[in-house]
């Protein structure tokens, strides 16, 4: 029952997190598009009112006229919309999900003894340290390098690469990717909480009093907002990466993640520029080329088929399903079963209780346990290399019954 309840909490938190993230990202992308697509106002009265730019759009059967004021409008509206709770809800639900899935089950999800032999408490402490420390390092870089956007961008990129390398050499690959994404997402939401919203409040308060707001608050908020838009696609990729073991189970997983994040940033830059009328097609082409290169680099190498006997020796006998079923029962069916003992339900609905189910999932078993070695998760059931080789021999021999 405890595993069942945990699965339900996991599902509901994941649902909330995805919905909140869609709302936050959608609103963020809309305002980036709006900001970069503004045109000078055509009406003389709008210019006199202080309108900086405007955009006309059509959606859902109606027409919309958005206007931007750098200073306050003639009359400050009472129901001013603030873009903050979507960000906060995304982070809070994401951190809760991270706690339920990773921090409460470190031996299953955080630790891979082939990477680093950590104790559960050490793994949890280090994971939380990356989230908190990542924000402080990023914020420090912004404070000391913020006057030079190019240098700051390089500094932040190098820090993210360093964090990616570090996490993939401390945690299980799947957890390492999630920790990097959570670290970046923490900085994104912290930007909203500590810089963007406070700066906007100070500007609104000053304008309400008839004072001229300090322009530094707008500049700092804009800078952090720009960073958030470039973090978005890499973070979204990381959110879904745990479904694709070929990315995080590779020995050079940190290189794969770094390249994919760079491709995501390039593609995002194309759309940012496109909103202002510039079509730099080299950016998405370069991003696609990087993704294609990663696909080739990450592709599992074929396992050589067993060689025939030499000098008249008989070839090794084919491995039958009956020989690997005990291995799968001991190492895999603790999760992949109609009645799992480690989880509330079989992940991805894959069950390995019967010979028919094993045969049906032969390709998956080989891919996850042999080619990628991503299963069992964290190798908590201690599948040996000899057992993996036996599974490979069974599969390469035609997955015989």
**Which of 9-13, 180-184, 340-344 is the least confident region?**
340-344
Cis peptide bond upstream of 254, omega within 30:
no
Summarize pLDDT for 104-156 with one digit per residue, the tens. Answer: 999 989 999 889 999 999 999 999 999 999 999 999 999 999 999 999 999 99
Quote the percentage of the chain above a pLDDT of 90: 69
- Of 119, 235, 118, 250, residue with least CA distance to 174: 250
Look at 342 and 135; give whichever has higher pLDDT: 135
Mean pLDDT is lowest, of 152-166, 291-305, 325-339, 358-372, for 291-305
User: Residue 377: pLDDT band by 50, 70, 90 thresholds?
Assistant: confident
Find the farthest-apart pair of alpha carbons in the chain and give their distance in angstroms, rounded. 97
CB proximity list for 4: less than 8 A, separation 6 or greater: 344, 345
**DSSP single-letter state for residue 146:** T
**CA–CA separation, 358 vs 319, rounded Å?**
14
Q: Is residue 305 predicted with pLDDT exceeding 90?
A: no
Contact between residue 97 and residue 14 where contact means Cβ atoms under 8 Å apart: yes
Give the span between the Cα atoms of 287 and 282, in whole angstroms.
8
């Amino acid at each position: 029952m405890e595993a069942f309840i945990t699965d339900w909490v996991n599902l509901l938190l994941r649902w909330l997190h995805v919905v909140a993230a869609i709302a936050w990202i959608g609103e963020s992308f809309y305002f980036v598009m709006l900001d970069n697509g503004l045109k000078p106002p055509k009406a003389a009265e709008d210019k006199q009112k202080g309108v900086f730019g405007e955009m006309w759009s059509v959606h859902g059967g109606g027409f919309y006229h958005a206007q931007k004021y750098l200073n306050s409008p003639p009359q400050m509206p009472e129901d001013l919309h603030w873009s903050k709770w979507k960000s906060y809800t995304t982070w809070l639900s994401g951190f809760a999900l991270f706690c339920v899935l990773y921090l409460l089950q470190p031996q299953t999800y955080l630790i891979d003894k082939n990477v680093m032999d950590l104790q559960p408490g050490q793994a949890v402490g280090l994971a939380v340290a990356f989230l908190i420390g990542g924000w402080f390092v990023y914020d420090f870089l912004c404070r000391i390098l913020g006057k030079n956007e190019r240098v700051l961008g390089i500094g932040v990129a190098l820090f993210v690469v360093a964090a990616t390398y570090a996490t993939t050499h401390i945690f299980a690959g799947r957890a390492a990717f999630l920790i990097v994404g959570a670290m970046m997402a923490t900085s994104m939401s912290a930007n909203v909480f500590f810089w963007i919203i406070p700066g906007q409040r100070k500007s609104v308060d000053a304008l309400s009093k008839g004072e001229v707001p300090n322009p530094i608050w707008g500049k700092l908020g804009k800078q952090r907002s720009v960073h958030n838009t470039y973090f978005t696609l890499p973070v979204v990729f990381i959110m879904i990466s745990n479904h694709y073991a070929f990315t995080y189970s590779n020995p050079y997983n940190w290189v794969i993640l770094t390249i994919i994040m760079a491709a995501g940033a390039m593609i995002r830059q194309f759309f940012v520029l496109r909103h202002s009328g510039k079509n730099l097609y080299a950016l998405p082409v370069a991003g696609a080329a990087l993704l294609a290169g990663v696909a080739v680099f990450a592709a599992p190498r074929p396992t050589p088929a067993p060689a025939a006997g030499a000098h008249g020796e008989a070839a090794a006998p084919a491995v039958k399903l009956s020989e690997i079923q005990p291995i799968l029962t001991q190492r895999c069916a603790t999760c992949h079963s109609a009645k799992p003992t480690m989880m509330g339900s079989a992940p991805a609905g894959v069950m390995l209780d019967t010979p028919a189910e094993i045969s049906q999932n032969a390709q998956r078993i080989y891919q996850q346990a042999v080619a990628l070695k991503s299963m069992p998760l964290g190798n908590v059931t201690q599948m040996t290399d000899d057992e993996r080789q036996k599974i490979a021999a069974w599969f390469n021999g035609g997955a015989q019954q």
